[in-house]
Chain A
Amino acid sequence: MSLLVVDGLTVVYPGAGRPAVAGVSFEIEAGRTLAVVGESGSGKTTLALALAGLLDRRARRGARRLEVNGEDLLSAGRKRWRQLRRTDISFVFQSPVNSWNPTRTMKAQVKDGMAASGRAGRMPELYDLLGRVGFEDPERRLEDLPHQLSGGMLQRVSIAVAVIREPALLIADEPTSALDSTVQSEILAILGELRREVNLAMLVISHDLSVVSRVADDVMVMYGGKAVELGSRRNALHSAVHPYTKGLLDSVPSLDGERKTLLPSMAPGPLPAAGCPFAPRCGLAVDECRRTEPDLAPVGATLAACPPAAAASTYTSGSPSASTRSSTPASSTSEGSPGCSDAAGAEGPP
Chain B
Amino acid sequence: MRSAKPARFSKLARFSKGAAWLAVVVLVAVTITFALSRIVPADPARLAAGLEAGPEQVERVRQDLGLDDPIPVQYVRYIGGLLTGDFGDSLRTRGPILDDVVESLPASLELIAVSFSIFAVLGIVLGVVWAYWPRGVHAVLLRVVAVAGAAVPVFWVGLLLQILLAGRLGWFPVAGNLNHEAAGIAEVTGAGLLDALIARSPSAMWEAARVLFLPVMTIVIHNIALTIALMRSSLADQLDQEYVRAARARGLSEWRVVMVDALRNALNPVVTMLGLQLGWLLGGVVIVEVIFSWPGIGLYAFSSFQAFDYNAIMAITVLSTAGFVLVNALVGLIYPRLDPRIQEGG
Contact = CB atoms under 8 A, between A and B. Distances in A.
A70 interface: no
Contacts of A113: 247, 250-252
Interface in B325-346: 338-341
Given A103-B338, A103-B341, A147-B341, A116 B243 contact: no
Nearest to B242: A98
B78 to A, nearest CB: 45
Interface string B302-315: 00000000000000
A223 interface: no
B252 A54 contact: no
A161 B247 contact: no
A184 interface: no
Interface stretch (A85-93, A211-219, A288-296): A85-93
Contacts of B253: 82, 116
B249 A52 contact: yes
B38 interface: no
A162 B251 CA distance: 10
Contact of A85 (B249, B260, B338, B339): B249
Given A86-B251, A93-B249, A113-B251, A102 B341 contact: yes
B251 A82 contact: yes
B60 interface: no
Nearest to A98: B242
A54 B248 contact: yes
Nearest to A85: B251
A109 interface: yes
B252 A102 contact: no
B314 to A, nearest CB: 43
A327 interface: no
Contacts of B264: 103-104
B217 to A, nearest CB: 35
A98 B244 CA distance: 9
Contacts of A90: 249
- Size range of the interface on B? 20 to 34
Contacts of B252: 112-113, 116
A55 to B, nearest CB: 10
A86 B243 CA distance: 17
A91 B249 contact: yes
A102 B243 contact: yes
Nearest to B256: A112
B246 A99 contact: yes
B241 interface: yes
B17 interface: no
B187 interface: no
Nearest to A147: B341
A103 B251 contact: no
Contact of B245 (A82, A93, A147, A162): A93
Given A54-B248, A85-B249, A101 B243 contact: yes
A145 interface: yes
A159 to B, nearest CB: 12
B293 interface: no
Contact of B341 (A54, A116, A145): A145
A177 interface: no
Nearest to A78: B254
B251 A116 contact: yes
Nearest to B245: A54
A147 B339 CA distance: 12
A122 to B, nearest CB: 15
Given A98-B241, A103-B265, A93 B246 contact: yes
B242 A112 contact: no
A117 interface: yes
B261 interface: yes
B242 A93 contact: yes
A54 B243 CA distance: 12
A170 B340 CA distance: 32
Contacts of A54: 245, 248-249
A99 B243 CA distance: 4
B257 to A, nearest CB: 9
Contacts of A98: 241-243, 246
A163 B264 CA distance: 28
A95 interface: yes
Contact of B251 (A49, A101, A117): A117
A100 interface: yes
A49 B242 CA distance: 12
> Of residues B251, B252, B256, B339, which shows the largest number of chain A Cβ atoms within 10 Å of its Cβ?
B251
A101 B265 CA distance: 9
A119 to B, nearest CB: 11
Contacts of B265: 101-103
Nearest to A90: B249
Contact of B250 (A83, A95, A116): A116
A103 B339 contact: yes
Nearest to A108: B260
Contacts of A109: 247, 261
Contacts of B250: 85, 112-113, 116-117, 161-162
26 contacts: A54-B248, A85-B251, A86-B251, A93-B242, A93-B249, A98-B241, A98-B246, A99-B242, A99-B243, A100-B246, A101-B243, A102-B339, A102-B341, A103-B341, A105-B340, A112-B256, A112-B260, A113-B251, A116-B250, A116-B251, A116-B252, A117-B250, A117-B251, A147-B341, A158-B246, A162-B250
Given A100-B246, A103-B339, 15 more contacts: A82-B248, A83-B251, A85-B248, A85-B249, A93-B246, A101-B261, A101-B265, A103-B340, A104-B261, A109-B247, A113-B247, A113-B252, A145-B340, A147-B341, A158-B246
Interface of A: 49, 52, 54, 82-83, 85-87, 90-91, 93, 95, 98-105, 109, 112-113, 116-117, 145, 147, 158, 161-162
Sort A-B residue pairs by CB-CB distance and give the 4 closest, nearest first.
A86-B251, A116-B251, A113-B250, A98-B242
